[in-house]
Structure 1
Amino acid sequence: MDATPPQLAAESPRPDPHGFKRRGVLFVLSSPSGAGKSTIARKLLASETELGVSVSYTTRPIRPGEVDGRDYHFVDLDTFREMVANGDFLEWAHVFGHRYGTPKAQVWNVLEQGRDILFDIDWQGAQQLHQLAGGDVVRMFILPPSMPILRERLERRATDSMEVIDARMDRAANEVSHWDGYDYVLVNDDVEECYQSIKTILAAERLKRSRQTGIIGFIRKLLRSGEMVPLA
């Protein structure tokens, strides 16, 4: 089974006008179900050519309209357990009776190439990923305007029974309680404004000095060229 998500084979990033190389960003989006995370993720992937998506492995059944290898890699429980034992996941979690895991294959290579990866994972996965990748990870948590509005959104989707919606609301309260484990927290009361804020954050994170691996060579060249004279 091919463990490389096809979405990670996106086109190479545009060259920096100054020739700087950078490390990529592991950009985590988390939110309670119904808070708008999926909508924002789709908008980001449509507009950001340097952003690929990590396709998780899962033991849950495939749903109508989903495609194996595009939406998830669908595997049985024994295969998933074997992958856990082999250390094939960057992170994994048990959610609503099913297991979800982020494949490790090619992630480090993608980072070295200066490309970014979007992760749609919960707080447990975000914590595990941060423990493994540290400064390469940017964690974003999206809040609903209120819990009643969140329930209204879940009911309007009409994809779950009331029992499942009740369970999602209980889980939402637990997820929100972990808001302080994230680097950025936004309230999604207007999806376009929230999306634009997230784009701004992503742009700023890409420009962080710690990710500009090519800037040292540029500064050395600048000093040698006499374009900058150090102060005495």
Structure 2
Amino acid sequence: MAEYDKLQRRGLMFILSSPSGAGKTTIARRLLAEDGDIAMSVSVTTRPIRPGEVDGRDYHFVSRGEFDRMVAEEAFLEWAEVFGQCYGTPKAQIKQGLKDGQDFLFDIDWQGTQQLYQKMEVDVVRVFLLPPSITELERRLRARATDSGDVIADRMARARAEISHWDGYDYVVVNEDIDACFAKVHGILQSERMRRARQTGLIGFVRELMG
């Protein structure tokens, strides 16, 4: 590897959002599998641990009292309560990781995206995935064969609400073909890593070039 490929840089917070069924989870898993320089942000949660989950890998599992204490101490970059359980992004872990050049992947909704952007604007890259059509989105949800008609109807209503926030993102990608969509999303990630402001090692490198 050339020396200039090892230049120090600041990490970034790569946010993927989409309505359910638009491919966000598939794209996120593929990014994690194929790009060794990005890691999933591990949230803190009050919900019970599920079979197969590992504390510290899937989530940091804490009591409601501990979570409330962390909120009071402003230990989260963003947090929310969903269906009676709380979820939050730990501030210290992310800030240190960014300083060390670690990229973090976030699978969150538009509200969490807004909170992160308000606090960490220059470190945040926001990507929203859209389905090629509402008809196709409903077809994908029904093809899962895991939800009742009422649940699908609820998901479709929520999808329309989520899509209405598309203009709060830096990039919008239509996921008609999963391979093409992944290529575009990964390309965005690679380009954002090359932003001059993130390449903190450039100053010293250019000084050496100029003698």
Q: TM-score, normalised by structure 2?
A: 0.90
Distance 1:65-1:23 versus aligned 2 partners, 3 A rule = same
Matches of 1:155 and 1:113 in 2, distance apart?
A: 43
Matches of 2:42 and 2:98 in 1, distance apart?
A: 16
Distance 1:172-1:60 versus aligned 2 partners, 3 A rule = farther
**Which sections of structure 1, spanning at least 5 residues, go unmatched?**
1-14, 225-232
The answer as to 2:160 corresponding to 1:160 is no
The one-letter amino acid paired with 1:17 is E
The answer as to 2:103 corresponding to 1:116 is yes
After TM superposition, the structure 1 = structure 2 runs for residues 28-47 of structure 1, keeping only pairs within 5 Å, are: 28-47=15-34
Which range moves more in the overlay, 157-166 or 125-134? 157-166
C-alpha RMSD over aligned residues: 2.0
- Please state how far the C-alpha of 1:45 moved relative to its aligned partner: 0.4
Matches of 2:44 and 2:145 in 1, distance apart?
A: 25
Distance 1:165-1:75 versus aligned 2 partners, 3 A rule = farther
- Tell me what 1:217 maps to: 204
Q: Which runs of 4+ in 1 moved over 4 A?
A: 61-65
- Superposed CA offset, 1:104-139 (max 9, x none): 232111111112111111111111111111111100
The one-letter amino acid paired with 2:69 is E
The answer as to 2:137 corresponding to 1:134 is no
Q: TM-score, normalised by structure 1?
A: 0.82
The answer as to 2:97 corresponding to 1:107 is no
The answer as to 2:78 corresponding to 1:91 is yes
- Tell me what 1:173 maps to: 160
Distance 1:167-1:101 versus aligned 2 partners, 3 A rule = farther
Distance 1:160-1:93 versus aligned 2 partners, 3 A rule = farther
Distance 1:53-1:186 versus aligned 2 partners, 3 A rule = same
Which range moves more in the overlay, 50-59 or 137-146? 50-59
Distance 1:67-1:152 versus aligned 2 partners, 3 A rule = farther
Question: 3-state DSSP class of the match of 2:88?
Answer: strand
Identity %: 60
Distance 1:154-1:83 versus aligned 2 partners, 3 A rule = farther
- Superposed CA offset, 1:37-61 (max 9, x none): 1111110001111111101223444
Matches of 1:46 and 1:214 in 2, distance apart?
A: 27
Matches of 1:147 and 1:93 in 2, distance apart?
A: 28
Q: How many pairs does the alignment contain? A: 210
Question: 3-state DSSP class of the match of 1:138?
Answer: strand
- Superposed CA offset, 1:46-96 (max 9, x none): 111111110122344445544443333344444333322221211112334
After TM superposition, the structure 1 = structure 2 runs for residues 5-24 of structure 1, keeping only pairs within 5 Å, are: 17-18=3-4, 19-24=6-11
Matches of 2:64 and 2:145 in 1, distance apart?
A: 28
Bigger Rg, which one: 1
Which range moves more in the overlay, 126-135 or 60-69? 60-69
The answer as to 2:202 corresponding to 1:205 is no
The one-letter amino acid paired with 1:22 is R
- Please state how far the C-alpha of 1:103 moved relative to its aligned partner: 1.6
- Please state how far the C-alpha of 1:154 moved relative to its aligned partner: 2.2
